[in-house]
Amino acid sequence: MRRRASGILLHLTSLPGRFGIGDMGPAARHFIDFLAEAGQSYWQILPLNPIMPVHGNSPYASTSAFACNTLLISPELLAEEGLLDSAELGRADLPPDVPVNYLTVQEVKRKLLTQAYSRFVEQGDDADYRRFCRDENWWLDDFALFASLKERFDDRSWTDWPQELRDREKSAIQRAAEELSDRVSYEKFLQYVFLKQWGALKEYCAQRSIHIVGDIPIYVYDDSSDVWANPELFKLDGQKKPAYVAGVPPDYFSKTGQRWGNPVYEWDVHRQTGYAWWVKRLAHNMRLTDFVRVDHFRGFLAYWQIAAREKTAVNGTWVEAPAMNFFTQLSRKFPYLPIIAEDLGIITPDVRELMNHFEFPGMKILLFSFGPDMPRNPYIPHNLPRNCVAYTGTHDNNTARGWFEHEATEEDRERLFGYSGRTIEAAHVPREMIRLLMMSAANTVIFPMQDVLGLGSDARMNFPSTTQGNWEWRLTPEQLSEADATWLSEMTQIYGR
C-alpha cells in the first residue's frame, strides 16, 4: 500500500444474486470486472467467518475465527460441478432486489447444500477433499465437531453441555465424533467447498489485478469453537465461562461505555506459546486475502477489562497487553505483515508509536472531518499522511449522502461547501467526497459502494450497538453501471491512482 491506489468496500452478502444473499458465484466475478473497468486496485470486504442469528448476523460475532460463512457458497458453481441441477436452483430462487432475509436464506441454502453433500458422497472418494481435511485438521476437526454438537444440543452454549464434553474429556470427544460422524463430515464438506470457491475467486481477482482487503476482529465470541478448544488462552472461570469481558470505557458517545461481552485473552499464556494461535490465525487470513484490517487495534497494547458480572462497562480497568513483543514475534514469522490498523476513536501516543514502529497504516474517515476543528482535523484531506487508508465512511457509518441529509449540522455543511469551493446538492455530496480523497496525499483511499452510487441512509450497512436490521443491504443487478465505472476510472487517472 505504498503506491497511490483506490478501491471499494463491499461485503459479499451485498452482492446481487439469485438466492437472497450475495455469494461467490457469477455476480462476484461481475463485480470484480466492474472494479477492473473502474481502474480500482482494492476490494475490501468484512470478516468471512460464520454468522449467528443471536447476534443479528454480524460478521464480527462468530462461532469460529477460522471457519467461513457457508451462506456465501454459490449454488450455481455447485451446479457446474454436477452437485445440483437446474430444477433445484430454480426452486431456490429468491427476489434479487430485496434486502437479505437471513432466516429465509438459511432455510433455502441449507436444502441446497444438503442435497449437494448427498451427491458428493454418492460420487465416492475424493482425494482433494481428503487432502483438505488432513491439511486443515488443526482447526477443522474442532470446528466441525463443535458445530455438530451445537445442533445436537439445540444451539445451547458449550458451557452448558454435559461436563465431559464441556471439558473435552478424550473418551467423550471420541464417542461424540463417532456418533456424529456424518454431520461432522457435512460440516467439513461445506468448509471445503467454501475455500475451493474462494480460492478460485481470489485467483480471478489476481488476474484482474485486484487485491482483496480482509478483516480480522480482535476478539472471538465466547460461544465459539476457539474458546471451547483452547480455554487456556482466555480468562475463564471454573465453569469455563468468561471471568472478564472486553469493551471500551465511558466516553463522549456513551455514559456507560460499551460492554462487548467477548472473553479477553490470557496474554501470558499466548506469550509462552510464541503466540502460536495468533500466528495460525494471521497465516490463515493472509491466505484468504492480500491485506487484513485488524479491528480495535489499540486492544493489542491495552484493553478495557470488565468483570463478567458487571452489566455495563463503567467499572472496567485498563490492562496492558504485550503489543511490542507480540508484533515483533509476528514479524519474525512473516517477512511482511499486510496489516491495516483500525485506530479510530481516542488513540494514545503509545499506540501511534507502535504503528509507526511497524509501519502499519491507520484509518482516516472523511465524514468525521467537517466539525469546528476542520483546519486541524487529522481526517481532513490536507492533513492526511501518505501511509494511511482513507475512507469516506465505513460499514459502521451512515452513507455520505445520509450523513449530509440527516446528521450534518448546517455549520458542517457550510464547512464542506467552503472546503470544496462551491455549494453542493445532497445527491452530489458522495462524489465530491470521493474526489476530495482521490486528490489527497493518502496512498490508499477506499469508498463504500453506497457512496460510489450516491445512496442515502436506507442503504446503510450497520448501526453499531443494535442487533436488528443490520448487514442486509444489497446491490441490485442494474446498479453496476458502465457510467459509474467510467467516472471512477477518470477520477483514478486524473489523481494518479
Query: What residues are labeled active site?
Result: 295, 342, 396
Beta-strand runs (E) in 287-392: 291-294, 302-307, 317-320, 339-341, 362-365, 388-391
Q: At what angle do helices 349-358 and 323-333 cross, to 10 degrees?
A: 10
Main-chain dihedrals φ then ψ at residue 46, nearest 5 degrees = -95, 175
Helices assigned H by DSSP within 208-243? 225-229
Distance CA(393)–CA(447), nearest Å, equals: 7
Distance CA(475)–CA(461), nearest Å, equals: 12
Q: How far apart are the first and last CA of the chain?
A: 11
Q: What is the DSSP string of 374-387?
A: GGG-TTSGGG--SS
Beta-carbon contacts of residue 436 (< 8 Å; ≥ 6 apart): 366, 381, 419, 420
Q: What is the DSSP string of 269-300?
A: HHHHTTSHHHHHHHHHHHHH-SEEEETTGGGG
The β-bridge partners of 137 are none
